[in-house]
Structure 1
Amino acid sequence: MTSHALLPTNPQLALADDLLKLLRTTSTEPRPDDQLEALTLAVAADLPVLLWGEPGIGKTAALTQLADSLDLPLTTVIASVHEPTDFSGLPIVGDDPAVQGVPMAPPQWAVELVRAGRGLLFLDELSTATPAVQAALLRVVLERRVGALQLPPGVRIVAAANPRASAADGWELSPPLANRFVHLYWVHDRDVVVRGLGGVWPRAELPRLEPERLAEAVAFARRAVCGFLHARPTLIHRLPNTETRRGGAWPSPRSWETALTLLAFGTAADVSREVLALLVRGAVGDGPGLELLAHLDRMDLPDPESLLADPPTAELPERGDLRQAALEAVVAAVGARPERERWEAGWAVLVRAMETGAPDLLVAPAKALAALRRDDWEVPAAVERLAKVVGIADRAERSVERVAAERVGAGR
C-alpha cells in the first residue's frame, strides 16, 4: 500500500497554499498607537495584562504581533477548555508518597516555557473559564507557578476576555483574579485596521528607558502614590459593590503597587499622558485612576512663591487648565499674605502669563487680584498693560452671554 507521504501534491492545492502564504505575509511600521504602547509597557514591567474587547476586535492578532515584535515565543492556552488540574498540576504518586509526597506534574505547555526560559503566555477566553479554573489560575498569574513548576522571569503573561454579554456561557471574573491584572480595554482603530488589512500593522516596541532617570522615576512614583493615598485613605482598598465591577479594575494595596510600578516605568520612558491614563485606570479603576492623574497635575504645578520671587523669568505650564491653576495659586498666595510688594509681583506674573500664553485665562485671576488691593496701594504700570487684554476678553464674555440670552428669549 502506498504511503500518503509519498503521494504527489495536488497542483491546485499547492497554488492555494502559495496564495495563503502571500495573504499571511505582512510587515510592520513604527506608528503611534496608545493602546499598543500601554500594552507593551505593562509587559515590559512584567505585570499581568488583561485585554477586554468584543469578539473579532483583534486581541489575539495584537498578541501575536506583539510576540513577534519582541522576539518572544508565544504560548496560547485557551483557559475555558482546560480543567483546574491543567494549571494546578496533576498528582503523580511515586514509590513512597508518605515520605516523598505527591508531586504535581505540570502540563506540556508549562514545561516548554521553562525549557525556553522566556516567552509570552497568552491566556485566551478568560471570561468563559469556570470559577474553579479561575481559582487555579491565581497562582499562575501571581506566583508564576504551574503545579510544582516555577515559570522563569523571562515569561510574561497576557490574557484576553470578552465582556460577559458577548461571551459564550461567560462568567464574571472573580475579584481575587481580576485584582491581579492591569485591565486594558481594546477597541479597533479604523486607520490601524485599514492599513493592517493592506499588509502593514503598527509595530510594538519596548519603551526606551533612560538610565539616568530610573532612580528619579521610582522616587517620583513613590512620592505621588503615597502622597495621594495619604490625602485619600478611603481609596486604599475599595471593593466594588456590584459583581461586574468586581471583575474589573479596583483599588487595593496590590493594585496600588501595580499603579506605582506603571507610573515609575511611564515616567522613566517619558510616555504620553494618554498612555499613562490607560495604565493607571487599568490598574485601580477609572475613578481612583483619574483622581491620581489630577494629583500628578497638582504636583507638576510651580511653587507660587517661586513665581512671585522672580516674575520676569517665571515658567508657567503650557496646558491651559494647569496654567490657570498656577495663576489662581499665585493669587491665593498673595491673599494669604497681602503685602504691597507681593501684590505688585502678582501683577507681574500675570503680565508674564499674557506674554507667553492665551490672554483669556487672565480674566478671573486679574479680577481676583484686583479685589485684594488696599486703599493706599498705587496701581502698578503692569495693570495698564493688562487692562486692554482683560477688558477685551471681558467684553467678549459678556457678548457671548448676551447672544445666549437672546437665543433663549427667541425660543420662548
Structure 2
Amino acid sequence: MPLPAPVRQLDVAADLLALLGDSTTEPRADAQLEALTLAVSADLPVLLWGEPGIGKTAALNQLADELELPLTTVIASVHEPSDFSGLPVVGDNPAEQGVPMAPPDWAVRLVRAGEGLLFLDELSTAPPAVQAALLRVVLERRIGALTLPPGVRIVAAANPRSSAADGWELSPPLANRFVHLLWAHDHDVVVRGLGGTWPRAVLPKLAPDRLSDAVSFARRAVCELLAVRPNLVHQLPKTEARRGGPWPSPRTWDMTLRLIAFATAAGSSREVLSMLVRGTVGDGPGLELLASMDRMDLPNPETLLADPSAAVLPERGDLRQTVLDGVVEAVRKRPELARWNAAWALLVRALETGAPDLVVVPASTLAALRRDDWEVPAAIERLAGVVSLSQRADRAAIATGASR
C-alpha cells in the first residue's frame, strides 16, 4: 500500500482560515450607515472621522456592495499633488496644442465604468499641497483633463490628528466641501460579529410620492432660520482645529437643504437627520436648525385660543412648553377676557394630558395678566394646587441649598 502524501501545514492553515472566515449576516438598522447612504445618494462628498481600526473601510465596502457600485480606493497620503491635478504630457507642438494634464489610471477606469465609489483614505495625513490638489477633485470632480461622470460618488476617511501618523488639520476650503460624519463602533455589533453573525445594513429608500413635499419642507426649514439668524449664513471658526471640521457657509447650507430633503423623503429618524445637519454646518447652527424645524409644525396659538376644546398639544415636553408659552404671549399682546379664559382652558387641557410642571410658569404668567374687572374662571381652581405645590418645592429647594 502506498503511503499517504504528507499534509502540508499551509494547507491545514488555509482550511482553518476558511472556517474563521465563514460567517452569516442578519438585517440590522444602522443610523451611521443610513446617514452615509443618504449623503452619498444626495451626491455630496462625505468624510468619515474615526479612530483607526473601527470599520470605516469595511463600511465603505458594504455600502459599495449594497449600491452595486465598484469601489476604487486611493490612499491620499501616499500620492503627490500631480496625481490629482494631472501630469503634464508634452505633444508634438505644445505652442498650438497646449500641454494636456494626463490623469492617473484609476481615474481613467472610473470614467470608463461611468459609475463607482471613489474612496479617498487617510485624508488627514495628506500634506497641505496634496489637500490643495484634492480641492478640484472634490468640488469640480476633475482629475487632470478628465471629468468624473455623475455616477461617481466621493467618500473620504480620516483619523483625528491625535491618532493619525504625521497628521495635518484639514484646510478650511477642503473641509467646507464635505459632510463630516463621526464614525464609531457598536459594541454589540462587534461582539456578535466576532461570534459569526455580522449585520447587513437596511438601506433607506426614497418615497417617490414624497419628493415634492420634501423639497418644500427643506427650503422652508433652512430659509426660515437664516431669515431670522443672518449671522449663521457664514461663520469661519477662529481655531485651526475647528476650521478643519463642519462650519456654516452658503455652500454648506445648500448641502444641508439637500440632505434635509433626502432625509425627509426617506422618512429617516431624527438621529440620522441630526448626524447629517450637524455634520454639514456644525453643532451649534445644526442644533438651532433642528430646534427651528421642531417649531415649524407647532400649532398656531390663535388657532388654539379659537377652539381650546379641540386643541391637540405636542407630546414632547419642550415642544408643549413652547406652545403654552406662545399662547400666553398671544394673550399678553391682545388681552381680552374671552382669550384669557380660553388660555386657562388650554392650560387645564395640558394638565390633564401631560406633565403638571409644564403648566406652572404659563399659569403664573397668565394670572398676572388679569384685569380688575375680569372674574376668576373656575379653571383656575384646578391649576391652583399645581402652582402652589411647585412654589413650595422651589422654596424647599432654596432652603436646602442655603443650609449646606
Q: In structure 2, do the counterparts of structure 1 residues 62 and 235 end up closer, same or farther at CA, with 3 Å as the change threshold?
A: same
Residues 52, 161 of structure 1: 8 Å contact kept: yes
Cα offset, 1:175, TM superposition = 0.9
Q: In structure 2, do the counterparts of structure 1 residues 383 and 275 end up closer, same or farther at CA, with 3 Å as the change threshold?
A: same
What CA deviation, in whole Å up to 9, does each residue of 1:247-295 have, x standing for no partner?
A: 1111111111111111111122222222111111110111111121222
Unaligned runs of 5+ residues in structure 1 are: 1-7
Alignment of 1:157-176 (within 5 A): 157-176=154-173
| Distance in 1, Cα, partners of 2:315 & 2:85 | 53
- Counterpart of 1:3 in structure 2 is none
- Counterpart of 2:399 in structure 1 is 405
* 3-state secondary structure, aligned to 1:241: coil
* 3-state secondary structure, aligned to 1:47: coil
| Distance in 2, Cα, partners of 1:59 & 1:252 | 27
What CA deviation, in whole Å up to 9, does each residue of 1:115-150 have, x standing for no partner?
A: 222221111000111111111111111111111112
- Which of 320, 323, 329 lines up with 2:320 in the alignment? 323
1:156 correspondence with 2:153: yes
Q: In structure 2, do the counterparts of structure 1 residues 141 and 302 end up closer, same or farther at CA, with 3 Å as the change threshold?
A: same
What CA deviation, in whole Å up to 9, does each residue of 1:14-65 have, x standing for no partner?
A: 3323332333344433323322221121111111111111112221122122
1:292 correspondence with 2:289: yes
- Counterpart of 2:207 in structure 1 is 210
Residues 34, 275 of structure 1: 8 Å contact kept: yes
The aligned amino acid for 1:117 is G
Runs of 4+ residues deviating >6 angstroms: none
- Counterpart of 1:56 in structure 2 is 53
Cα offset, 1:335, TM superposition = 1.0
- Counterpart of 1:395 in structure 2 is 389
- Counterpart of 1:186 in structure 2 is 183
Cα offset, 1:404, TM superposition = 6.6
| Distance in 2, Cα, partners of 1:230 & 1:322 | 22
Residues 44, 206 of structure 1: 8 Å contact kept: no
1:98 correspondence with 2:95: yes
The aligned amino acid for 1:145 is R
* 3-state secondary structure, aligned to 1:30: strand
Cα offset, 1:201, TM superposition = 3.2
Cα offset, 1:224, TM superposition = 1.6
- Counterpart of 1:139 in structure 2 is 136
Alignment of 1:228-307 (within 5 A): 228-307=225-304
- Counterpart of 1:69 in structure 2 is 66
| Distance in 1, Cα, partners of 2:32 & 2:391 | 39
| Distance in 1, Cα, partners of 2:391 & 2:271 | 31
The aligned amino acid for 1:227 is E
| Distance in 2, Cα, partners of 1:231 & 1:407 | 40
- Counterpart of 2:12 in structure 1 is 15
Cα offset, 1:71, TM superposition = 2.1
Unaligned runs of 5+ residues in structure 2 are: none
* 3-state secondary structure, aligned to 1:207: coil
The aligned amino acid for 2:108 is V
* 3-state secondary structure, aligned to 2:28: coil
- Which of 18, 36, 39 lines up with 2:36 in the alignment? 39
- Which of 348, 371, 379 lines up with 1:382 in the alignment? 379
* 3-state secondary structure, aligned to 1:51: strand
Cα offset, 1:401, TM superposition = 5.0
- Counterpart of 2:339 in structure 1 is 342
Q: Percent identity?
A: 74
1:120 correspondence with 2:114: no
TM-score by length of 1: 0.91
Residues 40, 205 of structure 1: 8 Å contact kept: no
- Which of 46, 68, 85 lines up with 2:82 in the alignment? 85
Cα offset, 1:353, TM superposition = 1.6
Q: In structure 2, do the counterparts of structure 1 residues 200 and 47 end up closer, same or farther at CA, with 3 Å as the change threshold?
A: farther
| Distance in 2, Cα, partners of 1:83 & 1:26 | 39
Q: Which moved more, 1:45-54 or 1:269-278?
A: 269-278
Q: In structure 2, do the counterparts of structure 1 residues 33 and 97 end up closer, same or farther at CA, with 3 Å as the change threshold?
A: same
Residues 351, 385 of structure 1: 8 Å contact kept: yes
Cα offset, 1:365, TM superposition = 1.2
Cα offset, 1:78, TM superposition = 0.5
The aligned amino acid for 1:331 is V
Q: In structure 2, do the counterparts of structure 1 residues 405 and 21 end up closer, same or farther at CA, with 3 Å as the change threshold?
A: farther
Task: Please tell me the root mean square deviation across aligned C-alpha atoms, in Å.
Answer: 2.1
Residues 324, 361 of structure 1: 8 Å contact kept: yes
Residues 70, 204 of structure 1: 8 Å contact kept: no
* 3-state secondary structure, aligned to 1:203: strand
- Counterpart of 1:24 in structure 2 is 21
Residues 183, 249 of structure 1: 8 Å contact kept: yes
TM-score by length of 2: 0.93
Q: Which moved more, 1:360-369 or 1:169-178?
A: 360-369
Q: How many residue pairs are counted as aligned between the two chains?
A: 400
